[in-house]
Amino acid sequence: MTVRQNGNRIMLLDSQGVPLFCWQLEQDALLANRQMETIVARLETIARAQHLLRLKGGTGESALEPPLDIQWGQVENGEKIQLPDKGATLRTGQSIYVSLHNTGSSTVFVSIFDIGITGNITLLSYKARGVPIPAGGLEYLGDRDFDGTLLGLELSWPDGVPKEFTGYEAFAIVSTSEEHDLTTLQTTATQRQQSPPRRGNDTSELLRIVDQISCGGAREASPQQLHGFRYDVKPINFELEPSKE
């Protein structure tokens, strides 16, 4: 991200030079300080989103094997159109789906996070501690009609972001061998880093990383690793164009 001052305005631009945010500089000192806090909070939010997008799955004993078979794509007239994990372009108003097939021999728990154009992180899956998918099970992200027809999840454009540009959106799909509450990864527009939650003596490598992303916790202070805990992370990246309507 780039912070740029232009006259009495401060703009926040993404890596492609797209102005995501613009603030009119306040003249009052107290209001100006609050405004700077808002800008810093926004930068922290975007940094957290980038950390989440770079998060890798477990390795060695922490690797989830076999990983989930994950597919995604556009929904058109109830039909699935599969898309690649990188490089697809979609438009607001279109709908998407994510399918999660557990080809392993034990239940896995899945959390799906949306990383929006503005960097906000939102949990899309419906269970805070992960959606359980039994061995051989198939789960979909995306609404269905009363007759079972797949409707998908409709894409929207964030308020306040100019519609003259293409934005970049992503999903981070985290699957674990045990239930884990990862909701601390979610962010809001003005959220600042908080103290990491208190954990017991035993915790997982994934939770230590999540604490660092969401709360600034240190990885070096590592409690004992939970034996047998395994996890995987898969990102899906795509470009999002605002509707011309």
My answer on whether 74 and 168 are in the same domain is yes
Strand partners, 237: 170
Q: Is residue 90 part of a domain?
A: yes
Cα separation of 96 and 80, whole Å? 8
Cis amide bond preceding 242, omega within 30: no
Strand partners, 97: 73
My answer on whether 46 and 155 are in the same domain is no
My answer on whether 27 and 99 are in the same domain is no
My answer on whether 100 and 159 are in the same domain is yes
My answer on whether 176 and 66 are in the same domain is yes
Structural domain boundaries, residue 14: 2-53
Q: Is residue 35 part of a domain?
A: yes
Domain tally, the chain: 2
For the chain, the straight-line distance linking the first and the last C-alpha, in angstroms and rounded, comes to: 29
- Tens digit of pLDDT at every position of the chain (245 positions): 888 988 888 888 887 787 888 888 888 888 888 888 888 888 888 888 888 888 888 888 889 999 999 999 999 988 999 999 999 999 999 999 999 999 999 999 999 999 998 889 999 988 889 999 999 999 999 888 888 888 899 999 988 788 888 888 999 999 999 988 888 888 854 454 455 555 554 566 777 777 777 665 444 434 444 456 889 999 999 999 998 66
Among 33, 53, 73, residue at a domain's last position: 53
CATH, residue 165: 2.60.40
Q: Is residue 199 part of a domain?
A: no
Indicate the pTM of the whole model: 0.82
My answer on whether 112 and 132 are in the same domain is yes
Tokens of residue 156, six digits: 């929207």
Cα separation of 188 and 191, whole Å? 5
My answer on whether 154 and 42 are in the same domain is no
My answer on whether 90 and 36 are in the same domain is no
My answer on whether 152 and 43 are in the same domain is no
Q: Say what the pLDDT of residue 189 is.
A: 47
Q: Is residue 6 part of a domain?
A: yes
Q: Is residue 91 part of a domain?
A: yes
My answer on whether 116 and 173 are in the same domain is yes
My answer on whether 234 and 118 are in the same domain is yes
Q: Say what the pLDDT of residue 9 is.
A: 87
Q: Is residue 47 part of a domain?
A: yes
Q: Is residue 169 part of a domain?
A: yes
Q: Is residue 221 part of a domain?
A: no
Q: Say what the pLDDT of residue 216 is.
A: 58
My answer on whether 119 and 235 are in the same domain is yes
Q: Say what the pLDDT of residue 221 is.
A: 39
Among 53, 74, 94, residue at a domain's last position: 53
Among 11, 35, 53, residue at a domain's last position: 53
